[in-house]
Structure 1
Amino acid sequence: MADISPNELDTLWDDFHRVVNMTSQELSVWLLTDSAAEDGAEPDHLGTEKGRHVLRILQKRRTDLTDDDVRVMRNVVDTITAERREDLEPTAGQENWRHRLMRLGHDPLKPAS
C-alpha cells in the first residue's frame, strides 16, 4: 500500500475496529435482513456495496488489506465518527439513521465492548 505508513495503518485498523462494533456474522445477517424487502435480491448483491466491502474487511487480516480497503476503512471511520462523535455510547435515534449506520457495521444501540 503506497500511501500509508505501517504506523498509520495500525491506527486506522484500530479505529476501524473501534467504530465497526458489529461482528462479521452480525453484519452479514443485517445485510441479508436489510435486503429482504428487495424483490429478487441475489446473495452476492445483498446490502450496499460499501456494507459488503466492510464485511470483506472484517474477514481479512491486516496484512491482506488492499489500497481500496484502506480507502473504505478511512471513509467508514470518518462517517461513523461524524455521526456518533468519539464517545460511541449506546444511543437511540431514528430508525433510518440506525439502519444507515448498521449498513457500515456500526449499531448505535450496541454497548461498547
Structure 2
Amino acid sequence: MTPDRASIRAAFEAAVNMSAEEIEAWLETEESRAVGQTRPGQSESIGRASARRIAAILRTPDAARDDEDYAHMRKVVGFVRRHRAQEPENMVTSRWRYSLMNWGHDPLR
C-alpha cells in the first residue's frame, strides 16, 4: 500500500465511526431521508448515496479497494472534518448530526 493510501485509510477509519450494518439501518430511518442536498434529476440525497458507497467500502478488503474507493474515502474525510467544525448547540436531534450520520459519522460517539 502506498503511503498516500495508508494515510487516507487511517483518516477514513478515524472519521467513519459507524459499521456498514449501522449505516444501512440508519438509511432506513425518516431522519436519514429528511436531510441532505439532492442533485437535479436524482431522488436520493448526496449523503445517502455516499452512505451506500461507504458501507460497500467497509465491506471491501483493503487489497481490493481501487482508486475510486480511495477518492471517495478522501471525500468522506473532508466532509466529516468540515461539518464537525460547524457543531450546533444541540447536536442530539439536529439536522447537522443526521447529515453526518449519512456520511458514516455519529458525532455522539
CA RMSD for the aligned pairs? Answer: 2.4
| C-alpha displacement of 1:92 | 4.8
Could you tell me which amino acid in structure 2 is paired with residue 104 of structure 1?
Answer: W
Could you tell me which amino acid in structure 2 is paired with residue 17 of structure 1?
Answer: E
In structure 1, which of residues 24, 43, 54 is the aligned counterpart of residue 20 of structure 2? 24
> Using the alignment, how far apart are the partners of 2:82 and 2:56 within structure 1?
23
Kindly report which structure 2 residues correspond to 1:57-76, keeping only aligned pairs within 5 A, or say none.
57-76=57-76
Alignment-derived partner of residue 49 in structure 1: 49
Query: Residues 57-110 of structure 1, C-alpha deviation per residue, up to 9 Å, x if partnerless?
Result: 11111111122111110110011112225xxxxx95261100100001000111
Which is further off, 18-27 or 92-101?
Answer: 92-101
| C-alpha displacement of 1:49 | 1.4
Alignment-derived partner of residue 2 in structure 2: 6
> Could you tell me the percent identity over the aligned residues?
31
Give the aligned length. Answer: 93
TM-score by length of 1: 0.72
TM-score by length of 2: 0.74
> Using the alignment, how far apart are the partners of 2:75 and 2:53 within structure 1?
12
2:99 pairs with 1:103? no
| C-alpha displacement of 1:53 | 0.4
